[in-house]
Amino acid sequence: MQLNLTVEAVWSDVQKIRSAAPLVHNITNYVVMNNTANALLALGASPVMAHAREEVEDMVAIASALVINIGTLSSAWVETMASAMSKASAKGIPIIFDPVGAGATAYRTRTCHELMNAVAPTVIRGNASEIMALVDAAVATKGVDSSTTEKPVKALRELARQFSCAVVVSGETDLVSDGETWFRIRNGHALMPRVTGLGCTASALVGAFAAVQPEPLSAAAHAMAVMGICGEIAAAQAAGPGSLQMYFLDALYQLNEERIATTLKGC
Amino acid sequence: MQLNLTVEAVWSDVQKIRSAAPLVHNITNYVVMNNTANALLALGASPVMAHAREEVEDMVAIASALVINIGTLSSAWVETMASAMSKASAKGIPIIFDPVGAGATAYRTRTCHELMNAVAPTVIRGNASEIMALVDAAVATKGVDSSTTEKPVKALRELARQFSCAVVVSGETDLVSDGETWFRIRNGHALMPRVTGLGCTASALVGAFAAVQPEPLSAAAHAMAVMGICGEIAAAQAAGPGSLQMYFLDALYQLNEERIATTLKGC
Amino acid sequence: MQLNLTVEAVWSDVQKIRSAAPLVHNITNYVVMNNTANALLALGASPVMAHAREEVEDMVAIASALVINIGTLSSAWVETMASAMSKASAKGIPIIFDPVGAGATAYRTRTCHELMNAVAPTVIRGNASEIMALVDAAVATKGVDSSTTEKPVKALRELARQFSCAVVVSGETDLVSDGETWFRIRNGHALMPRVTGLGCTASALVGAFAAVQPEPLSAAAHAMAVMGICGEIAAAQAAGPGSLQMYFLDALYQLNEERIATTLKGC
């Protein structure tokens, strides 16, 4: 499909989030829980963090999107991630999957495969090395890559096809694909990777967008555009990563059509 | 009893916290641990977070208040919450209970009842829906409510009577009750709910106040007044929820009698 | 050995961290995970937080330093801390140990002894009461101390000798020792203890320095000097602990030779 990355399309989704305040259920890592909850609140969504076996399905039952992030995984949490994903799939709400550190340890890569093979996510978001680690080794390393983006693009499309979902590769330029076509999201700032968990925050925001935008590729693209726009606005005021984090939350809160119009870059 | 919400009474408690630096033991949720620890430190109290079965009673033994917050509960943590509450009750230190998400899942509501039925808290603090969820369904839904505050007020007083404790309903205007009478705390700002965990921070600060103020209703009211005052001071400087959180901590640290005098609103 | 606390020596290590971006594996407490990850990123290192039994050794295998912090310990985490320390020792990467709350409960003191007796750390960093709690009671309480620093200094040197490691006592003035000699690090600011987890952040930064600086005493001293320098720079701009935390991260990011030269105090 074609991606409609226009000011109107992005702003329309932001307005829908603000008026619906969708409940986004996060099972995420300890490092970023506070930041992702704050980013969801600043944007206008309603975050909840819950991981207990006894309640995880009940929480999914009242949520509009589920965000799974394996950043500080352990076996007990992986079990409830699986239950939550299964319930979300049965209920028909979008599932966002963030494979933090896939490829860094065998346990992480294996856990991602187990969770995603049981229930395919709606959107997968990771950095290039994580997304490449999730694709079969044979595919990921086939041929000689002539550019730094060729290999990620191959993995991106392959993963999207494999799980019939949208995939985002975050980086200096973000890449999004639905398996058929792929697009670049060009907003963002070099200081953003110096704040821990802005990738995790991106995944959480994809959850908010997917709660109001039924097309996964558009939800992912609009969320990444908003991340990049707010990151640029924040970086223009920031003296370093400490102030960037603060201005980023303020920018999410203050986001309006005019700011999107003056900052959004085309695909 | 009558509530003494005067500049002198609030300032006196703040001074006592600053000179005694009471150790406030928190068993709280992952999302807000950092913020609540920082708020306690900024105010002048001494926070500790500890949840291990092996030490939870020893930590209560050296603490001046215990704050229980079920925000990201799981069965192992609930067990140590129960042990800590039992020890705190035996030792005679105040117990603050924050029923995060009560009503959202059956597990949360049930866990609150089990914990509070075993050991009655000194102060319960929640938002209107949480407090209403804790009161017997029969009471909470009895009659037709003509105003948005009538139902919370009924639940507030009922819960306070049931557990012979003080109860706070946080909201645009906070409500506090000891079961007999109830009062409004009018300070605060609309931007505060856009920062995650300021309700949890309120509960933690109630812990600090209860450590130096033996009257639970006064401890709760003074803490909520300080929350609201610092929230207003912060909001006057803030461009959004990111900067609000930062200015809020600075305001707690800088709080003095003059700022209370110029900002405190009457009941 | 003699400590080389010069602008050139500190700046050289900072540059090495920035060019190598060493992976620092943290098994740390919930309260500070976000802050310590952000401090490592702001300085130029690469943080990872991982505690699962299934992956902890694999994560150590790709890391350049291991930071163990018992702040919110529980038995399952202590097990994986032991595995990680054993693997780090076998691999020969530095191990930084932060005995948060040692002495506050018997469980904490005992856990520290068990972990350190199994695998001696490269650097131990704590405040005076924690470090004193780790030294045999007989040693720590021997004699009558005529000054507030005499007892910590005794404990500092004793602990360093006992584990053949470097030890840091954080405080208004930091003390570092290799067991033979000891030195003062005089940078820092009184507002720093009002931000939760800056001690934990110090331990994490020692990890980054130890990853590039083979001499433990120098790594510890340079890290503490950078903490103090950035704390002073931040405090000069801060209105309270909220803004201090933000400016501190910005200062780590902006740190350069000139700022070290104008701020570093001699031993």
Residues C90-146 have pLDDT tens digits of 999 999 999 999 999 999 999 999 999 999 999 999 999 999 999 965 454 444 444
What integer pLDDT is reported at residue C146 of this predicted model?
46
Of C37, C52, C250, the CB nearest to A107: C52
Residue carrying structure tokens 């693009």: A153
Of A37, A245, A252, the CB nearest to B196: A37
User: Which tens digit of pLDDT belongs to each residue from B176-235?
Assistant: 999 999 999 999 999 999 999 999 999 999 999 999 999 999 999 999 999 999 999 999
* Contacts A241 to C, Cβ<8 Å: 38, 41-42, 249-250, 253
What integer pLDDT is reported at residue A4 of this predicted model?
84
Q: Where are the alpha helices (DSSP H) in C46-127?
A: 56-62, 75-91, 106-118
Let me know: does B186 contact B132? Beta carbons within 8 Å.
no
CA–CA dist B193, B202 (Å, integer):
12
DSSP single-letter state for residue A223:
H
| Dihedral sign (CA A205, A209, A212, A214) | negative
Amino acid identity, position B140: A
* Contacts B37 to C, Cβ<8 Å: 31, 196-197
CA–CA dist C223, B267 (Å, integer):
51
Selected residue with higher pLDDT from A59 and A137: A59
Burial class of residue C2 (count of CB atoms within 10 Å of its CB; 0-12, 13-18, 19+): exposed
Of A147-156, A174-183, C189-198, C237-246, which gets the smallest average pLDDT? Answer: A147-156
* Contacts C42 to A, Cβ<8 Å: 194, 240-242
What integer pLDDT is reported at residue B88 of this predicted model?
98
What integer pLDDT is reported at residue A68 of this predicted model?
98
What integer pLDDT is reported at residue B151 of this predicted model?
85
pLDDT confidence band for A150 (50 / 70 / 90): confident
Of C31, C107, C242, the CB nearest to B250: C242
CA A33 to chain B, closest CA, distance in angstroms equals 5
User: Which tens digit of pLDDT belongs to each residue from B115-125?
Assistant: 999 999 999 99
Mean pLDDT of the C42-61 span: 98
What integer pLDDT is reported at residue B208 of this predicted model?
98
Sheet strands (E) in C114-239: 123-127, 166-170, 174-177, 182-185
For the record, the structure tokens of C51 come out as: 């505690």
Contact partners for chain B, using 3 or more CB pairs closer than 8 A, are A, C
**HSE-CB for C149 with a 13 A CA cutoff:** 11
Residues 6+ apart with CB under 8 A from C236: none
User: Which tens digit of pLDDT belongs to each residue from A109-139?
Assistant: 999 999 999 999 999 999 999 999 999 654 5
What integer pLDDT is reported at residue B51 of this predicted model?
97
Rg (CA), chain B: 17
CA distances from C184 to B68, C139, C171, C173 (A): 40, 22, 10, 6
Q: Answer whether residue A25 shows pLDDT above 80.
A: yes
CA–CA dist B125, B178 (Å, integer):
12
Residue carrying structure tokens 């694709």: A135
CA–CA dist B165, C188 (Å, integer):
44
Q: B107 and A47: CB-CB below 8 Å?
A: no
pLDDT confidence band for A12 (50 / 70 / 90): very high
CA-wise closest residue to A100 among A33, A165, A161: A33
Instruction: Supply the mean pLDDT for chain C.
Output: 94
User: Which tens digit of pLDDT belongs to each residue from A209-248?
Assistant: 999 999 999 999 999 999 999 999 999 999 999 999 999 9
Residue carrying structure tokens 């201005």: A247
Mean pLDDT of the A62-90 span: 98
Amino acid identity, position B145: D
Element (H, E) at B95: strand B95-98
CA A209 to chain B, closest CA, distance in angstroms equals 18
pLDDT confidence band for B141 (50 / 70 / 90): very low
What integer pLDDT is reported at residue A149 of this predicted model?
66
* Contacts C49 to A, Cβ<8 Å: 29-31, 71-72
Contact partners for chain A, using 3 or more CB pairs closer than 8 A, are B, C
CA A244 to chain B, closest CA, distance in angstroms equals 10
What integer pLDDT is reported at residue B267 of this predicted model?
79
What integer pLDDT is reported at residue C140 of this predicted model?
47
pLDDT confidence band for C149 (50 / 70 / 90): low
Residues 6+ apart with CB under 8 A from B81: B27, B68, B70, B115
* Contacts B240 to A, Cβ<8 Å: 42, 249-254
Let me know: does A148 contact A142? Beta carbons within 8 Å.
no
Selected residue with higher pLDDT from C197 and A150: C197
A238 lies within 8 A of chain C by CB: yes
Mutant choice from B34, B38, B194, B249 vs A, greatest count of A C-beta within 10 A: B194
For the record, the structure tokens of B131 come out as: 């407090």
Task: Provide the 3-class DSSP secondary structure of residue B10.
Answer: helix
Count other C-beta atoms under 10 Å from residue C150's C-beta: 12
Q: B240 and A248: CB-CB below 8 Å?
A: no
Q: Above pLDDT 70, what percent of chain C?
A: 94
* Contacts C41 to A, Cβ<8 Å: 193-196, 241
Of A49, A59, A249, the CB nearest to B105: A59
Chain B stretch 13-32, residues whose beta carbon is closer than 8 A to a beta carbon of chain C: 30
Residues 6+ apart with CB under 8 A from A97: A68, A112, A115, A116, A121, A123, A124, A125, A203
Instruction: Supply the mean pLDDT for chain B.
Output: 94
Sheet strands (E) in A178-237: 182-185
pLDDT confidence band for C2 (50 / 70 / 90): confident
Q: Answer whether residue B140 shows pLDDT above 50.
A: no
What integer pLDDT is reported at residue C144 of this predicted model?
46
Q: Answer whether residue C222 shows pLDDT above 50.
A: yes
Rg (CA), chain A: 17
State the ipTM, two decimals: 0.95
